[in-house]
Structure 1
Amino acid sequence: MATLVVGLGYVGATLAGRLLGRGERVIGLDNFFSVDRRTTSLLERHGAFELIEGDIRSESDVVRAFSVEAVDHLYFCAAQASADDSTIPASYTETTNLIGPRIVFEEAARRDVGRIVLASAMRVYGQPLPSRVDESTPFTFQRDLTHLSKLYLEGLAHIIAERSKMPVVSVRLGVVYGVGAVVKTDPRFMTVANRLCWQACHGEAPRLALGVGHLPIVHVSDAVAGMIRAAQIDEPGYSAVNLAGDPVTLRDLAEVVASEASRRGRTFDVPAVGGWKGDAPVVESRLTAMGFAPRVALRDGLRELIDYFLARV
């Protein structure tokens, strides 16, 4: 039996590497829209990894991935993840984030896959976050197609789980940051924390959006570990878990980046705007009762990321 990782981007490639390290047989599916094909070379050197270069929007490509060998676990990490609607065609976002998941989930149900773990986002709760968040917190309005599609993704997963009785776990990730097996080099596809570090290393001034409140944030290593732990939830049907560390304001995040950049001789002036006066929301997670908590400290993760980008300037 094998594990299928759909989407070998920032989270998916790191997850595939972690699973291989645990001795699992891994199949990876990706179309390399926002990832350099060469970044999977380390995975491909592993004898227990098989790459299927294909598109989740193509039924034949999805069937090829499932046909390598019987799949027990499916980790779904594929998405057009950039919220910059001005640079990514809306049609690509819609077909990738809406049609693609349906094709994959329906094939998983036909193949009697043991369980699905999907990467969702805590943005489903809105921005800014409510004062207290747990997995029962209602979803709310979204401002871009990328995050709007997360609402559809979770609804679709719920339908598939109810129809097939297959366990499906949605892992609602905070803003993922840090050095993973794949680190995006195009700022359009970077998360806000990674983009701030990239800007600090390239001499660009930070641009801080107003009104976003506190950001739930999680290191990519913790995101992957949490997804693997979530796969242990053995409940029929659909369930969800939150996965993030302590929320931080965008301004505070930028100031940590500026502090670490300054120690490396880089000037990163954080503008006076962008602060948030409200209290930090309380984020609860079912993973806590399972003994899981994020381990990477924010400053440590940002320091490593800045060093990574500086080595490539």
Structure 2
Amino acid sequence: MSIKNLHLDTKNNILVTGGAGFIGSNLCKALLENGNKVIALDNLATGQMKNIKPILEHANFNFIEGDIRDLNTCHDACKDIDYVLHQAALGSVPRSINDPITSNAVNVSGFLNMLIATRDAGIKRFVYAASSSTYGDSKALPKVEDKIGKPLSPYAITKYVNELYADVFGKTYEMDTIGLRYFNVFGRHQDPNGAYAAVIPKFVLAFMNHESPIINGDGSYSRDFTYIDNVIEANVRAITATNPKAGNNVYNVAYGERTTLNELVVLVKQYLSEFDSKIGTIDVKYGSERAGDVPHSLASIDKAKNLLDYNPKFDMKTGLKEAIKWYWENLER
């Protein structure tokens, strides 16, 4: 989806941290298509140059290889910037359990550096990637922004601390911040490889290699899977929101639809079978539950609809069909 279809004037200088990552690279491309000048900052720890290769020579694009844990780098990246879209983070609940120190250094100290650099540069608005993991052990469904539980992982703690820091900076320094609580984002550029890969590309790659995907637990856990183009829209809406109540807030970014892992794997198998009929014969395996996993996630998106004019176009099935086509054409196997 091109954000031109949103009919929004976003022609600005925009910094995207984590710009070579899954979400960041998609944001960079969409923003360039709409006439913005885009700076991408990434240390390439999890981001990949191949994600931004098609836009590297774009006249309005500049890439900075640097780390948000270095304050000077953050200050340099924020020069002459109108808006920051802060996507840089170390994701994954299991990664944070295995290495909480690095997750905290990137997700908390790095986040604080970006807030300071944004404040010092007088940037109009700081939009950052928050997380549905903030809801923790809250059993309420759907998830509503002002009702959270206790975090279940170091990663969840770091993302909640981000929201606390953003709130304090908004009140103390009169900054304008918006947090977007992403719910299980998927789509093009999402890496299926490695120990901390997300579930959809992992399932896809396994099936494409004629291997049995492994579901953690009995498959009854459910997620509000959110296609990347909905996330692009949310970020653009956050940049351009003019409602006086929009700023210094957090919003759920999802479609508002729940899918179990068992339902998901059936759909992935079905859609991939259209490209390779052998995939239809592959069985699924079940493993142990992962520590720190939230059993169920379903978002209320009323707040984003009302204050940001967020109107996601892709339900899970529509987005999954788009993603499967991209995976089939682009994943190495």
TM above 0.5, one fold? yes
RMSD: 2.7
SS in 1 for 2:252: strand
Structure 1 residue identity aligned to 2:76: R
1:140 aligns with 2:150: yes
1:190 positional shift: 2.8
SS in 2 for 1:132: coil
Alignment partners' CA distance in 1, 2:286 and 2:75: 52
Alignment partners' CA distance in 1, 2:265 and 2:142: 24
Contact 1:117–1:230 (CA<8 Å) still a contact in 2? yes
Distance change in 2, residues 1:189/1:48 (3 Å): farther
Alignment partners' CA distance in 1, 2:323 and 2:265: 13
SS in 1 for 2:284: coil
Equivalent residue number for residue 114 of structure 2: 104
Match of 1:14 among 13, 26, 35: 26
1:297 aligns with 2:315: yes
1:271 positional shift: 4.8
1:198 positional shift: 2.1
Equivalent residue number for residue 218 of structure 1: 226
SS in 2 for 1:3: strand
Equivalent residue number for residue 229 of structure 1: 237
1:1-313 equivalences in 2 (<5 Å): 2-8=13-19, 9-67=21-79, 70-85=80-95, 89-126=99-136, 130-142=140-152, 144-179=153-188, 182-210=189-217, 213-234=221-242, 235=244, 238-245=248-255, 246-263=257-274, 264-265=276-277, 266=279, 267-271=281-285, 281=298, 283-289=300-306, 290-311=308-329, 312-313=332-333
1:224 positional shift: 1.0
SS in 2 for 1:42: helix
1:3 positional shift: 0.9
Superimposed CA distance per residue, residues 129-152 of structure 1 (whole angstroms, 9 cap, x where no aligned partner): 52232221224322x322221111
Distance change in 2, residues 1:310/1:94 (3 Å): same
* Structure 1 stretch displaced more, 241-250 or 295-304: 295-304
Count residues with an aligned counterpart.
Answer: 306
Q: TM-score, normalised by structure 1?
A: 0.88
1:214 positional shift: 2.3
Q: TM-score, normalised by structure 2?
A: 0.83
Distance change in 2, residues 1:279/1:112 (3 Å): closer
Structure 2 residue identity aligned to 1:302: L
Equivalent residue number for residue 4 of structure 2: none
Alignment partners' CA distance in 2, 1:160 and 1:297: 35
Contact 2:14–2:37 (CA<8 Å) still a contact in 1? yes
Alignment partners' CA distance in 1, 2:202 and 2:139: 21
Alignment partners' CA distance in 2, 1:102 and 1:268: 46
Alignment partners' CA distance in 2, 1:72 and 1:82: 30
Contact 1:120–1:150 (CA<8 Å) still a contact in 2? yes
Alignment partners' CA distance in 2, 1:251 and 1:127: 22
Alignment partners' CA distance in 2, 1:2 and 1:195: 35
Alignment partners' CA distance in 2, 1:89 and 1:112: 34
Structure 1 residue identity aligned to 2:303: R
SS in 2 for 1:261: helix
Superimposed CA distance per residue, residues 198-245 of structure 1 (whole angstroms, 9 cap, x where no aligned partner): 222123322223387321111011111111112233447620111111
Alignment partners' CA distance in 2, 1:29 and 1:79: 12
Structure 1 residue identity aligned to 2:184: V
Distance change in 2, residues 1:192/1:272 (3 Å): closer
1:15 positional shift: 0.7
SS in 1 for 2:234: helix
What is the percent sequence identity of the aligned residues? 21
Where do 5+ consecutive residues of structure 1 fail to align?
Answer: none
